[in-house]
């Protein structure tokens, strides 16, 4: 099983769920809002905050309906450097998804420790290869992709000598409907790909990402906003700071409850004896009497003969008188 190694932590089976607050475009091209998003993500307990770095003219035609959305959401290059420095100073990992090669080069130059590749670029093999050559861990979203396309993208990165890749199960609808999430893809992908698997979530609310943790997700990416009522394409489906804080809290609780594979008995013998039962005399039993089942009851505590010995006790004779409600003992019987 492949693990992703960062400076201060690892991502994979057996490690805490890696939680990314996806700020994305929710800064609305305002540096101060972006900075506030970083602070709020850190306060919520998220491990990382992620933006998107791009030159709109490098990846969208002006005729596309998405052109104006992205063009109006561009941050100057220097802002990302300043935002990373701020994130570093308050102890949250800074990430950003590059949508073009020059943006990937810039993020590498300012020292990001990991790259994220968006679902829309999983089949953009030239960009995938370019990022893989940076020799840093990669998170790859798989929305819209067939298994063949996922294998193809992974293979292109491996050909560049980079196999430190985690995958996000993702439904590329905004927002995504709960009944199309197919969260069982997470354990399936973990078995097939033998690498960290997470959920990049676009549903409303926080129940779906937390459910993914119960199914073994090693990572969660959730859109994040300061206010759902702000203008912009992703605010409505994003978690607020309070929701993000609650999502992190529940995720940590769920991962703690998951434990390890196998049946483990945490209860002490003393606790078992309090709750279990023992074979007990239902009535006064004189010496020399053959025991019948109606002379015996089963009562707490469980520090006497266990109930499974009932069949071997019935038919034996009492060597001594046994009082009602006295636990049976083999020394009492012939």
Which CATH architecture is the domain 4-258 placed in? Alpha-Beta Barrel (3.20)
With the C-alpha atoms ordered 154, 157, 161, 162, is the resulting torsion angle positive or negative?
negative
pLDDT tens by residue, 286-328:
999 999 999 999 999 999 999 999 999 999 999 999 999 999 9
pLDDT in the model for residue 24 = 97
pLDDT in the model for residue 259 = 85
Rounded distance between C-alpha atoms, residue 308 and residue 211, angstroms: 39
Could you give phi then psi for residue 215, rounded to 5 degrees? -90, 5
Domain boundaries, the chain: 4-258, 269-332
pLDDT in the model for residue 7 = 80
pLDDT in the model for residue 261 = 78
C-beta of residue 129 within 8 angstroms of C-beta of residue 156: yes
pLDDT tens by residue, 118-129:
999 999 999 999
Q: Which residues does the chain have with pLDDT short of 70?
A: none
**Topology annotation, domain 269-332:** Type Iii Antifreeze Protein Isoform Hplc 12 (3.90.1210)
Alpha helices in 143-267 (DSSP H): 147-159, 185-193, 207-214, 241-258
Beta strands at 115-117 and 138-141: parallel, antiparallel or unpaired: parallel
């Amino acid at each position: 099983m492949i693990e992703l190694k960062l400076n201060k932590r690892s991502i994979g089976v057996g490690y805490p769920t890696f939680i990314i607050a996806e700020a994305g475009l929710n800064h609305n091209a305002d540096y101060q809002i972006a900075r506030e998003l970083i602070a709020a993500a850190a306060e919520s307990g998220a491990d990382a905050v992620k933006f998107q770095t791009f030159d709109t003219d490098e990846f969208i035609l002006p005729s596309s309906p998405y052109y104006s959305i992205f063009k109006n959401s561009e941050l100057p290059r220097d802002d990302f450097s300043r935002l990373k420095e701020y994130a570093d100073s308050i102890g949250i990992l800074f990430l950003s998804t590059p949508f073009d090669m020059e943006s990937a080069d810039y993020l590498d130059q300012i020292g990001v420790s990991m790259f994220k590749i968006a679902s829309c670029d999983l089949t953009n093999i030239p960009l995938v290869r370019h990022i893989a050559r940076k020799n840093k861990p990669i998170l790859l979203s798989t929305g819209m992709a067939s298994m063949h396309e996922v294998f193809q993208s992974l293979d292109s990165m491996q050909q560049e000598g980079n196999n430190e890749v985690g995958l996000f199960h993702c439904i590329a609808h905004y927002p995504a409907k709960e009944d199309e999430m197919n969260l069982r893809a997470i354990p399936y992908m973990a078995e097939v790909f033998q690498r960290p698997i997470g959920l990049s979530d676009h549903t409303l609310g926080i129940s779906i990402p937390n459910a993914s943790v119960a199914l073994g997700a090693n990572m969660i990416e959730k859109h994040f906003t300061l206010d759902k009522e702000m203008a912009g394409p992703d605010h409505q489906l994003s978690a607020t700071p309070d929701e993000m804080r609650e999502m992190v809290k529940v995720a940590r609780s769920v991962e703690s409850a998951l434990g390890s594979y196998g049946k483990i008995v945490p209860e002490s013998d003393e606790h078992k004896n309090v709750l279990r039962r023992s074979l007990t005399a239902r009535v006064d039993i004189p010496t020399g009497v053959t025991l019948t089942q109606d002379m015996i009851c089963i009562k707490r505590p469980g520090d006497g003969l266990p109930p499974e010995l009932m069949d071997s006790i019935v038919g034996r004779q009492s060597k001594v008188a046994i009082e009602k409600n006295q636990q049976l003992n083999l020394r009492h019987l012939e």
